[in-house]
Chains A and B, each alone.
Chain A
Amino acid sequence: SQQGEEDPQALSIQEGENATMNCSYKTSINNLQWYRQNSGRGLVHLILIRSNEREKHSGRLRVTLDTSKKSSSLLITASRAADTASYFCATGSNYGQNIVFGPGTRLSVLP
């Protein structure tokens, strides 16, 4: 069963706007990761946030983690057409065990 669930499933915005995607999970985690996947391409790791962190920034990306609500959000600021992709969250538990991905959010940034 999948632990991570992204919301919304699809998001369409204009270039320059901010995009926010959410991820919810069910059990305890050690870390949560966000990935991007362009159509027909492999996954690209974006950012990892550990369970003892609440917020993390990387360039135009801002990730928050609320372990009490078992949820995370990914904010992309000043979006660009090149940000069009599917975004996945993945939860990691103990080393060597399942890393579970959600179904993803399809982001379309219109020029």
Chain B
Amino acid sequence: NAGVTQTPKFQVLKTGQSMTLQCAQDMNHEYMSWYRQDPGMGLRLIHYSVGAGITDQGEVPNGYNVSRSTTEDFPLRLLSAAPSQTSVYFCASSYPGLGTSTDTQYFGPGTRLTVL
């Protein structure tokens, strides 16, 4: 298994540009999510999905869109990039298993985004 893959690894955008960060997993995980990591802030949840066709907002969803048309893919779209969106973005997936606890998450390597 390749696990969780993210592309691109690095990206530089100009203010106002749009782009899509790709995330894919081959572990048949139902739960997928996007985080951003800023210095000294830890990880903050942007959007998540509990299955194909279902998405929901996390802690910091403004300026981002997601969709989940398949179990494997969970792209994150920046609609109009702003310097405040300069960050490292991580995609994660997990299999919920039994019960209602969120189980072990597997993370992608991250995408480093700079918005000028």
Interface set of A (CB-CB < 8 Å, partner B): 1-2, 4, 30-31, 33, 35, 41-45, 48, 50, 88, 90, 92-104
Contact = CB atoms under 8 A, between A and B. Distances in A.
B70 to A, nearest CB: 18
A99 B42 contact: no
B100 A98 contact: no
Interface string B83-116: 0000000101000100111111111111000000
Interface residues of B, number: 29
A18 to B, nearest CB: 24
Given A95-B96, A100-B45, A33 B110 contact: no
Contact of A43 (B41, B45, B90, B100): B90
Nearest to B105: A45
B109 A41 contact: yes
Given A99-B33, A103-B40, A104-B42, A94 B109 contact: no
B42 A2 contact: yes
Given A1-B59, A42-B90, 14 more contacts: A4-B42, A30-B100, A41-B109, A43-B90, A45-B104, A88-B42, A90-B105, A94-B100, A95-B96, A95-B102, A96-B31, A96-B48, A96-B56, A99-B33
Contacts of B107: 35, 42-45
Contacts of A44: 107
Nearest to A97: B102
A103 B37 CA distance: 9
Contact of A96 (B59, B92, B102, B110): B102
Given A43-B90, A102-B42, A48 B100 contact: no
Contacts of A92: 101-102
Interface string B52-73: 0000101100000000000000
